[in-house]
């Protein structure tokens, strides 16, 4: 193995640059490898946008948010939008052959793919075509299978918790019900952790459909007890019992076309109408993905990057680095693709939140 490529796919998050730095520096320093940076995820391989990375290229990016390579969540080679028909509908094609041509053209002996379940799903077909792949788990949702932690999650929890802390003071001052909407399409780990850390009174996550009457009752109950406000942590993918998610828009050319958002605003109107309490909603949105990574995420990202290169050099291909019980391990990428790690209803954090008075407003919760 002489030359490897590294790419970042899917949404950005804090710690991506720390992994790029760790992969590049350890590959050059410990193994004498050449490293090629692939721009904008798999799009860089589709469009042949690949450039060398040196020590100097990755110096001073450890604490920088985002990714110096760029990323894309619309570039799954197996289903790539190549244009639009006369009615404006996207035309999808399998452009995997272009990726294989780029791998050959740039003489890439292996790919380090940094991303979440979508990136691992996009990488999996190339394993069958003979490409050596190493995965590094990334997402602020912490929903990648077979790893207890993904880098970026700790920073996002800190950002969301700080938002809850700041909004709490406004809620108390104006005697309001304040809803704070966080990312989490199918998995509620971010809202659960931030809700617990920020002392939310109600926590609504996708895994536990809520009863609107129970949410309103929780607000009324606090008022009856003399509490002047209620703080509600809301996952963007939460939904009422028997209902569906709130869709913000549809991006037809993307692999995952549905974009969620706005459930807190819908709930805000419903709660205000039923309880006659003053309500406000705040959607944190992409602020959760940005900014300087926490110290924990910098360390975890560095460990992930170094381990990925070490595994490649020891002949352990087509695996994703994992974090289990405080130790690094790995799992076959095929076991991660097309799956998500969701919050179990009986998770210890759910129990802990309920024990300190938070309500999930689901059946029996």
Residues with a known catalytic role: 141
331 within 8 A of 320, measured Cβ to Cβ: yes
Residue 270: CB atoms within 10 A of its CB come to: 15
Q: Which helix (H) or strand (E) segment is 332 a member of?
A: strand 327-332
Three-state DSSP at 38 gives: strand
Show Cβ contacts of residue 361 under 8 Å, excluding neighbours closer than 6 positions. 202, 204, 208, 210, 211, 214, 215, 218
Q: Report residue 340 CA to chain centroid gap.
A: 11
* Contacting residues for 304 by C-beta, under 8 A, at least 6 apart: 19, 22, 136, 137, 151, 321, 323, 328
Measuring CA to CA, which residue among 154, 74, 52 is closest to residue 119?
74
b (16+ CB within 10 A) / e for 150-169:
bbbbbbbbbbbbebbeebbe
CA angle (345, 150, 27) in 5-degree steps: 160
List the structure tokens of 165.
Answer: 């802390």
Decide if 178 contacts 170 (C-beta within 8 A): yes
Q: Would you call 338 exposed, middle or buried from its count of C-beta atoms within 10 A (0-12, 13-18, 19+)? A: exposed
């Amino acid at each position: 193995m002489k030359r490897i490529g590294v790419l970042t796919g899917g949404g950005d998050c804090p710690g991506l640059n720390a992994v790029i730095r760790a992969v590049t520096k350890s590959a050059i320093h410990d193994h004498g490898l050449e490293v090629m940076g692939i721009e904008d995820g798999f799009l860089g391989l589709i469009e042949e946008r690949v450039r060398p990375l040196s020590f100097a290229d990755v110096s001073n990016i450890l604490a920088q948010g985002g990714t110096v390579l760029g990323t894309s969540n619309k570039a799954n080679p197996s289903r790539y939008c190549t244009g639009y028909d006369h009615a404006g509908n996207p035309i999808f094609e399998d452009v995997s052959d272009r990726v294989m041509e780029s791998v050959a053209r740039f003489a890439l002996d292996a790919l380090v793919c940094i991303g979440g379940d979508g990136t691992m799903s996009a990488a999996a077909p190339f394993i069958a075509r003979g490409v050596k792949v190493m995965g590094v788990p990334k997402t602020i949702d912490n929903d990648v299978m077979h790893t207890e932690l993904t880098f970026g999650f700790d920073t996002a929890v800190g950002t969301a918790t700080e938002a809850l802390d700041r909004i709490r003071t406004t809620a108390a001052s104006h005697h309001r019900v304040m809803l704070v909407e966080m990312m989490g399409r199918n998995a509620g780990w971010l809202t659960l952790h931030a809700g617990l850390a920020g002392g939310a009174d109600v926590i609504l996550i996708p895994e536990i459909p809520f009863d609107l009457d129970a949410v309103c009752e929780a607000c009324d109950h606090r008022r009856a007890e003399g509490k002047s406000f209620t703080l509600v942590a809301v996952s963007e993918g939460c939904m009422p019992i028997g209902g569906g998610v709130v869709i913000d828009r549809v991006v037809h050319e993307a692999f995952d076309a549905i974009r969620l958002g706005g459930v807190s605003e819908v709930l805000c109107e419903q709660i205000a109408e039923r309880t006659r309490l003053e309500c406000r909603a705040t959607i944190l949105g992409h602020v959760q993905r940005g900014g300087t990574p926490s110290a924990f995420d910098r360390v975890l990202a560095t460990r992930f990057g170094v381990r990925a290169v070490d595994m490649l050099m020891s002949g352990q291909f087509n695996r994703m680095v994992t974090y289990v019980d405080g130790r690094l391990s790995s799992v076959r990428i095929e076991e991660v693709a097309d799956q998500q790690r969701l919050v179990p209803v009986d998770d210890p954090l759910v129990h802990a939140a309920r024990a300190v008075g938070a309500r999930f407003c689901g059946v029996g919760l």
